[in-house]
Copies of this chain bind each other. A is one copy, B any other.
């Protein structure tokens, strides 16, 4: 039994899928479901595209925010130079769907990863991310021996303390990368200023983002002075897009969350509630007391991600004051303060998530809605492609 993997018969997928078909109204969608307001999303895409164009920045949207190849294509059609992927598996899905210019913002480590990266680089333009010479060496050797040249950017730690070389070490590492590694073509610098998401004032966000970009600008200037060309200075966060747009050192913006926006973006001043395009549609299934309601969207729909300064796991439209304060795997528990609008069994609610990129990874399909009607259903094709 153990060695015979189960293959689901085709009819069972049809039976268990509860997705609507184009033309259905919202009431016909079974819950929980992940909805995107198409008008709002298109406005968000156009807005970020215009900001980048007017600032002379290259826009390379982060596809981990949606994981849907069709949405990556919409971003490119609106003017993006290419897309960013967080994992090689995502990039493979995007390349298979026709995306041709991909930055993978993650260190490639391990023999299988390197083989797959080289295979991908033969088919599309790939930029890989390096944050250590230890990881660069086997990649360089494999690329050189296969006769492939792969573009590379050096990741710099500008304060988030995740990946990225220390700014003190960036100059030497970049010089080594640019001169000593066959098969790799040094293109510039990248950084993710994720530490700004721990701040809770817009002013602090903007100040910290600008400081991060100053660090990159300083390294780039010193590299250029040393004769190393720096074509790309790539930064990441949607919430700091306006700061990046006016900063002279930045050449490329990898904003991702902007396509939908979420409570994290609102908290950072990067969006307003009306600019949020993504919602989880859920049904109230239990209301045992006037202080508590339960919806059919739990941790497996909303995720346990939290936002500094925000209570709960998402904001319920039209129910101000109610808080989704506990999650079980499939239940969301809502606390209802006195004098707040009650919930009733069977009521359908729409929840703006804390983090769009977390929620997108929980669902298999994204339902596109316009004027209250289903227009399309997209498989979230890169969901779970973490490898």
Instruction: Out of B97, B299, B364, name the residue touching A358 (CB < 8 Å).
Output: B299
A9 to B330, CA, bound (A): 32
Contact A12 B92 (CB under 8 A): yes
Contact B3 A286 (CB under 8 A): no
Interface 1/0s, chain A 63-100, versus B by CB < 8 A? 01000111001100100000000110100110111000
Q: Does A253 contact B (CB under 8 A)?
A: no
Contact B109 A288 (CB under 8 A): no
Q: Return the chain B residue nearest A10 by Cβ.
A: B96
Contact B304 A38 (CB under 8 A): no
Q: Return the chain B residue nearest A32 by Cβ.
A: B386
A385 to B33, CA, bound (A): 10
Nearest-CB distance from A260 to chain B (Å)?
14
Contact A328 B96 (CB under 8 A): no
Q: Does A284 contact B (CB under 8 A)?
A: yes
Which of A1, A33, A113, A387 has its CB near the most chain B CB atoms (within 10 A)? A387
A371 to B358, CA, bound (A): 35
List residues of A (20-58) whose CB comes within 8 Å of B's CBs: 22, 28, 30-33, 38
Instruction: Out of B134, B381, B385, B386, name the residue touching A345 (CB < 8 Å).
Output: B134
Instruction: Out of B70, B113, B294, B381, name the residue touching A162 (CB < 8 Å).
Output: B294
List residues of A (146-179) whose CB comes within 8 Å of B's CBs: 157, 161-166
Nearest-CB distance from A277 to chain B (Å)?
13
Q: Return the chain B residue nearest A381 by Cβ.
A: B8
Instruction: Out of B8, B166, B346, B386, name the residue touching A109 (CB < 8 Å).
Output: B346
Given contacts A30-B112, A303-B304, is CB(A93)–CB(B385) below 8 Å?
no
Interface extent on A, as a size class?
35 or more
Instruction: Out of B112, B284, B296, B330, name the residue touching A18 (CB < 8 Å).
Output: B112
Q: Which residues of B contact A2 (CB under 8 A)?
A: 38, 70, 74, 368, 375-376
Q: Does A361 contact B (CB under 8 A)?
A: yes
Q: Which residues of B contact A383 (CB under 8 A)?
A: 384
Which of A2, A64, A119 has its CB near the most chain B CB atoms (within 10 A)? A2
Q: Does A15 contact B (CB under 8 A)?
A: yes
List residues of A (88-147) whose CB comes within 8 Å of B's CBs: 89, 92-93, 95-97, 106-107, 109-110, 112-113, 116, 119, 131-132, 134-135
Contact A16 B385 (CB under 8 A): yes
Contact A162 B331 (CB under 8 A): yes
Contact A86 B329 (CB under 8 A): yes
Q: Return the chain B residue nearest A134 by Cβ.
A: B345
Q: Does A250 contact B (CB under 8 A)?
A: no
Q: Return the chain B residue nearest A69 by Cβ.
A: B6
Contact A131 B64 (CB under 8 A): no
A387 to B112, CA, bound (A): 36
Instruction: Out of B89, B301, B384, name the residue touching A386 (CB < 8 Å).
Output: B301
A109 to B287, CA, bound (A): 12
Nearest-CB distance from A342 to chain B (Å)?
13
Q: Does A221 contact B (CB under 8 A)?
A: no
Q: Return the chain B residue nearest A42 by Cβ.
A: B2
A297 to B86, CA, bound (A): 12
Q: Does A300 contact B (CB under 8 A)?
A: yes
The 20 sampled A-B contact pairs (Cβ below 8 Å) are: A2-B368, A2-B376, A5-B378, A8-B96, A11-B96, A12-B97, A16-B92, A16-B385, A18-B112, A30-B113, A30-B116, A31-B110, A64-B330, A87-B330, A132-B286, A161-B292, A162-B331, A163-B294, A194-B328, A297-B386
